[in-house]
Structure formats: structure tokens, C-alpha cells
């Protein structure tokens, strides 16, 4: 038989918090396992081995009680695993296996591992979104880790309520939840936690977003602005137009376009977000933008990444500045909503729909319901069909 108890050790200094520890007894051998949980003497009920919730530290005490419950449950699970193996074990074995499983089944550790793997695979943008999600969740947890098997429906509902209380948009909430669900499902596949469907009651859908597109008339006005004395605004305008010209190419794909990607009047690149290869007929308007700037001394076409090294930082800085100056351009055009690089992507799709271009050509996933659908559509199209549609749209300018 194995006994697991939670004990309180008072501080040797008056007025300071004491420590909680586990007492594990197996075959009459007693071992202690320390924790980093600190409480005052009047916050501990020795008889029930539980936290007393009161006063201005109630939230902190609730958190400690929650983690204690997880630890006790996992210690009991370790004992059950060792007993099922039908081999002799000691109290020290219980502690060793508990620490090993704690490290493996920690959400923080596991998600850091997933993020590191994404970086190794070159999926930098995805790794950044996973990091942002983890940071958001850990802020909700006040930097207290949670075991993978501690991710419950109630916990996720509390996280959702936390985000709503901070006026986080529903699409952003869904974005965080879907990333956490993907990480959780990966842990389930690895056998680190049973599948308890903790995301079944939280929002993981996609709300229709406010229309971001601007009409062709506005794009023509943007193109015709005299910005000869305002080079920063001129560059922002050029990047927006280049994205529109290239069927709503994302800024990160623009930044990493290589000179070798342009051959015989055809631009071929692979989307960094999905890995899908796309080809675009090189048009005069695209070349006019490139010709405005000194030839980039790097391997890249556009003057976004202009020096070897720190490519990601150069991209981030350029995107920030371009979007900043696009806001100024929005005011000059008296637009109700500010321009961003993403507006160019929406605007190309909107212009195509206005001209009755088939959805299979304009790509349903360009800000619509499903990027998976986009990939299916584009994979089955001849490039010339899309180029023809793009040439028709550019002819409207």
C-alpha cells in the first residue's frame, strides 16, 4: 500500500509563508517531496489537507489548490502505473517517475517543443503565432504552468471568459483556441494525455469580418496620388499596389521574392503560409514598381530585405512602417477604415467578384471561409486562367 498526504511546514521566520510538501509512504518507508507552493499557517487546514480560501489572496489560493489537486491525482496515477507493472518499487521510484512525467506532460514544456520544431521546419510565422498564443494563455494563468491532462472544459471556458473580459475579438479568441486545440491533439496522439475534448464548449469558429476591401475607384485614386516629395508614403503605396497587382500576395511572400523566381516573364513562388506554389504572369505595372528603386544588392527582388542577415527583423520593421504610412494614405483618401497590406488581398478578390470571375479562380480562401478550399481550387486550375483574370482586373486601373 502507498499513502500520499499533503503536509505544511511552517517558516522558521515569524510572519513569513510556510511550504507545502508531499509525504509519500510505501512499505513503511517515508519520503518527502517538496513543492514551491507557499501559504501562511492560517491558509492551511491540516485535517482536510486543503487550502483555506479567504482574504485578498483568494485567487492565489485557488490556483495553489488547483495545482495541488492535479499533483495528487498524478501521484496516484504514478502509483497505479507502478502497481500495474507488478514489480517491486519504492517511494523514491514514485517521486522519480512523477518528476519525469511532470516535465513531459507540462503544457509549457510541450508547447515550447512544438514551437522549436516549427522553427526547424522553417515555419517561422506559424511558430510566432504559437508563441503569441502561449503567451496569452500563460498571462491568463499568471505564468503558472498546467499539466496537459489538467486542460479541461472548465479551464478553457475560464480562459475564454478572461479574453472576452479584455474585449478580445471573437475571431482572435477562436484563433487562440484552435492553436491550443492543435497542440492538445498532438499531445493526445503522443499518449501524453487522454482525449477529454476540452474545447467542445468554447468558440472555435470564424465570424464574418468587417469588409476590408476597397473599390477599384479608390485604388486608382491611390495610384494617382502625387507622392514625389514623400518617399516613405510612396514606398508604402508601391508595396500595396504590388500586392494588388500580384493577386493579393502577402507581404511576407513579397519580402522573400527572389530574383531567381522571375524567369521568362513568369514569377514563381511558394507561399510561406501554406507551402503552395503559385505562378503569376509578370505585367508591366509590376516591373514599373521594381524599376523605381535601385537594384537590391541581396538576392531579393523588392527593397524590403536589403542587407544579408537579420532577414526576419528587416521584414518585421518594413511591415510595421508600411502599415504605419498606409494609415496616412487612408487619411489623404478620406477612407473610413485604414489601409493595411491585408486590404490589398481582399481588394483583389472583391474586384474579381465584381467582374463575375468564378470563385474557383479568385480563390475562395482569400479572406473567405476556408483556405483548404482555396488550395483545392487553385491546384486544379490552369495558370493561364488565373493570369487572364488578373490581366482583366489590372486593366481596370
Q: What is the mean pLDDT of the chain?
A: 87
238 and 348 in a single domain? The answer is yes
341 belongs to a structural domain: yes
C-alpha cell at 65: 489548490
Same structural domain, 237 and 294: yes
100 within some domain: no
CA-nearest of 397, 372, 378 to 279 is 378
Q: Is the pLDDT of residue 345 over 90?
A: no
Residues 246 and 355 in one domain: yes
- Same domain for 281 and 320? yes
Does 168 lie in the same domain as 32? no
Last-in-domain residue among 61, 90, 119: 90
Encode pLDDT of 295-304 as tens digits: 888 999 999 9
Beta bridge partner(s), residue 26: 2, 29
Count of Cβ atoms closer than 10 Å to residue 103 Cβ:
10
Instruction: Check residues 230 and 120 and name the one with the higher pLDDT.
Output: 230
d(CA 255, CA 253): 5
The percentage of residues in the chain with a pLDDT greater than 90, rounded to a whole number, is 55
pLDDT of res. 63: 80
Per-residue pLDDT at 379 exceeds 70: no
Per the CB < 8 A criterion, the answer to whether 300 and 308 are in contact is: no
Residue 378, domain extent: 216-394
pLDDT tens column, 190-217? 888 899 999 999 999 876 555 678 889 9
Does 62 share its domain with 115? no
The pLDDT assigned to 368 comes to 34
Task: Identify the domain boundary among 154, 189, 224.
Answer: 189
Q: Does the structure show a pLDDT above 60 at 266? A: yes
Owner of C-alpha cell 478580445: 168
- pLDDT-derived band at 367 (thresholds 50, 70, 90) equals very low
Give the CATH number for residue 226: 1.10.443.10
Asked if the structure places residue 321 within a domain, the reply is: yes
Q: Is 135 among the domain residues?
A: yes
pLDDT in tens, 45-99: 999 999 998 878 888 888 888 889 888 988 998 999 899 887 889 999 999 998 8
In a domain, 184, yes or no: yes
Name the phi and psi angles at 34, rounded to 5.
-75, 155
For residue 234, tell me if it sits in a domain.
yes
Average pLDDT over residues 223-250: 95
Which pLDDT value is given to residue 207? 66
Query: 138, 171, 189: which is the final residue of a domain?
Result: 189
Residue 98: which of 168, 231, 186, 4 has the closest Cα?
4
Tens-digit pLDDT profile for residues 4-18 = 999 999 999 988 999
Question: How many residues belong to the chain?
Answer: 397
**H-type alpha helices, the chain:** 58-84, 91-104, 107-120, 124-140, 153-165, 170-189, 216-224, 231-245, 251-255, 284-291, 311-332, 341-354, 359-362, 371-379, 383-394
Give 96-154 pLDDT, tens digit per residue: 998 887 777 889 989 998 998 888 888 888 888 999 999 999 999 988 889 898 899 99
The answer on pLDDT for 381 being more than 50 is no
Residue 371 reports pLDDT greater than 60: no
Indicate whether 278 and 368 sit together in one domain.
yes
Say whether 30 sits in a helix, a strand or coil.
strand
Both 12 and 115 in one domain: the answer is: no
Quote the number of domains for the chain.
Answer: 3
Amino acid at each position: 500500500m502507498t499513502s500520499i498526504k499533503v503536509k505544511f511546514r511552517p517558516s522558521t521566520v515569524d510572519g513569513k509563508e510556510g511550504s507545502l510538501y508531499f509525504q509519500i509512504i510505501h512499505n513503511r518507508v517515508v519520503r518527502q517531496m517538496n513543492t514551491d507552493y507557499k501559504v501562511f499557517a492560517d491558509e492551511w487546514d491540516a485535517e482536510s489537507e486543503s487550502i483555506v480560501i479567504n482574504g485578498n489572496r483568494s485567487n492565489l489560493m485557488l490556483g495553489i489548490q488547483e495545482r495541488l489537486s492535479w499533483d495528487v491525482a498524478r501521484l496516484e496515477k504514478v502509483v497505479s502505473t507502478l502497481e500495474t507493472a507488478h514489480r517491486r518499487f519504492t517511494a523514491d521510484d514514485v517521486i522519480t517517475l512523477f518528476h519525469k512525467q511532470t516535465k513531459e506532460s507540462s503544457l509549457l514544456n510541450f508547447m515550447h517543443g512544438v514551437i522549436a520544431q516549427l522553427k526547424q521546419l522553417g515555419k517561422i510565422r506559424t511558430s510566432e503565432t504559437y508563441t503569441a498564443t502561449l503567451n496569452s494563455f500563460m498571462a491568463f494563468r499568471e505564468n503558472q504552468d498546467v499539466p496537459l491532462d489538467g486542460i479541461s472544459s472548465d479551464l478553457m471556458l475560464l480562459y475564454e471568459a478572461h479574453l472576452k473580459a479584455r474585449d478580445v475579438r471573437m475571431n482572435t479568441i477562436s484563433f487562440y483556441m484552435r492553436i491550443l486545440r492543435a497542440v492538445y491533439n498532438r499531445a493526445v496522439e503522443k499518449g501524453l494525455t487522454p482525449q477529454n475534448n476540452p474545447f467542445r464548449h468554447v468558440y472555435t469558429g470564424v465570424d464574418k469580418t468587417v469588409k476590408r476591401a476597397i473599390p477599384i475607384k479608390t485604388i486608382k485614386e491611390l495610384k494617382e496620388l502625387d507622392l514625389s516629395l514623400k518617399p516613405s508614403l510612396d514606398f508604402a503605396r508601391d508595396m500595396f499596389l504590388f500586392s494588388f497587382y500580384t493577386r493579393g500576395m502577402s507581404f511576407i511572400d513579397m519580402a522573400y521574392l527572389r530574383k531567381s523566381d522571375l524567369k521568362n516573364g513568369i514569377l514563381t513562388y511558394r507561399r510561406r503560409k501554406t507551402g503552395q506554389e503559385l505562378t503569376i504572369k509578370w505585367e508591366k505595372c509590376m516591373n514599373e514598381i521594381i524599376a523605381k528603386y535601385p537594384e537590391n544588392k541581396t538576392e531579393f527582388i523588392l527593397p524590403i530585405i536589403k542587407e544579408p542577415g537579420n532577414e526576419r527583423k528587416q521584414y518585421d520593421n518594413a511591415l510595421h512602417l508600411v502599415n504605419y504610412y498606409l494609415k496616412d494614405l487612408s487619411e489623404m483618401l478620406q477612407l473610413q477604415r485604414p489601409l493595411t497590406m491585408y486590404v490589398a488581398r481582399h481588394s483583389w478578390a472583391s474586384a474579381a467578384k465584381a467582374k463575375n470571375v468564378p470563385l474557383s479562380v479568385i480563390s475562395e480562401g482569400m479572406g473567405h471561409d476556408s483556405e483548404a478550399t482555396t488550395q483545392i481550387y487553385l491546384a486544379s486550375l490552369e495558370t493561364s486562367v488565373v493570369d487572364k483574370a488578373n490581366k482583366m482586373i489590372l486593366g481596370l486601373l
